Amino acid sequence: MNPEPKAVPESGFDSQGIAPATLAATRPFYWSVRRELWENRSIYIGPLVGAGVMLLAFLYTLIGLPRSLRELAARAPAQQRAELVMPYGHATMLIVLAAFLVGVLYCLDALYGDRRDRSILFWKSLPVSDLTTVLAKASIPLVVLPVLVFVITVATHLIMLLLSTGVLLVSGANAAMLWARLPLVQVELVLAYALIANALWHAPIYGWLLLVSAWARRAALLWALFPPLAICLFEKIAFNTAHFASLLHYRLLGWFMQAFAAAPPDYVPVDPHFIPLTQLTPGRFLTTPGLWIGLAFAALFIGAAVRLRRDRGPI
């Protein structure tokens, strides 16, 4: 007489009550983000390279700093502030640009790379949903990179300030003027606000790149650029207009026009090297239809990327 087969116990991830507790304990979203940081060193190396290049260039300018500061003492306080803050503004722009390029290249490879090297088969075997995986990848350009840029930029500014102070003290120049006229606290507050506005405004760009990364079988960059360029070309040939090109330009740079007052009460144009706190317009930015339309498209693109990752296998 054959013994009856024993019932196989239900998997821990399938049984109700155990699965949520297990997933909560393992924090799949947190470790998915950590995985992206481990596997993509360019996320932090790119901004660090931008900061390093700027520091090298800044070291060269320190040679003539004492003479420049003596000449600057005869100018108006507003001119002194603008001249002193300019290299710090240049450092910020370079680091932000490097981070934007890193974010674009990362999104293009985020889902495409897993399918190309067939590692998607391993990651799909883990108890991590496609939604968690895609959201973790989307958080890199939208959350992680802005935080890294802020930390790296603040550290770069402090190093620049300390180097300047050291050179002035060694040369016998007046370093007090540098500390008195340099509005570094305002610069960092404006930087934090600008990074948040920039990330929210560019969310549909990153969402589109993630969608292309989940769909393309090869040449993800070409597939990301071809549809918008084709639409621009078709519109120009068929109607001799450039509305879609203007829309793309607005999506790239419009955040600055909405987040800051281009014409403040004193009618002084915005200096991108130093923007005072009085020229921040968070209310106007948050009520701009383009922001919320863009976020809706970003959610649509990310949702489509989740569906594609669920259905598509390795290349």
Question: Residues of the chain with pLDDT > 90: what percent?
Answer: 49
Average pLDDT over residues 182-207: 94
**pLDDT of the residue at 192:** 95
Between 193 and 66, the higher pLDDT residue: 193
pLDDT at 315 over 80: no
| 8, pLDDT greater than 50 | no
Instruction: Judge contact between 98 and 50, C-beta under 8 A.
Output: yes
The predicted pLDDT at position 147 comes to 96
pLDDT at site 197: 96
* CA 129 vs CA 38, 121, 196, 309: distances in Å: 20, 13, 28, 10
Q: How far is CA 249 from the centre of its chain?
A: 18
Across 233-245, average pLDDT:
92
Report the pLDDT value the prediction gives residue 25, as an integer from 0 to 100: 58
| pLDDT of the residue at 20 | 55
Q: Is the pLDDT of residue 3 over 60?
A: no
- CA-derived radius of gyration, the chain: 25
The confidence score (pLDDT) of residue 16 equals: 44
What DSSP assignment string belongs to 152-219? Answer: HHHHHHHHHHHHHHHHHHHHT---HHHHHH--HHHHHHHHHHHHHHHHHHTHHHHHHHHHHHHH-SS-
What is the model's pTM? 0.85
- Per-chain mean pLDDT for the chain: 84
Provide the pLDDT for residue 11: 41
Residue 237, pLDDT > 50, answer yes
Q: Is pLDDT above 80 for 18?
A: no
Residue 266 scores a pLDDT above 60: no
pLDDT band with cut points at 50, 70 and 90 for residue 231: very high
Task: Using the predicted structure, report yes or no on whether residue 49 has a pLDDT greater than 60.
Answer: yes
What's residue 269's pLDDT? 54
For 91-100, 125-134, 146-155, 255-264, which range has the lowest pLDDT when averaged over its residues? 255-264
pLDDT score at 194: 95
Per-residue pLDDT at 173: 73
Q: Where are the domains of the chain?
A: 27-311
User: pLDDT, tens digit, for every residue of 84-128?
Assistant: 888 999 999 999 999 999 999 999 998 888 888 788 777 777 788
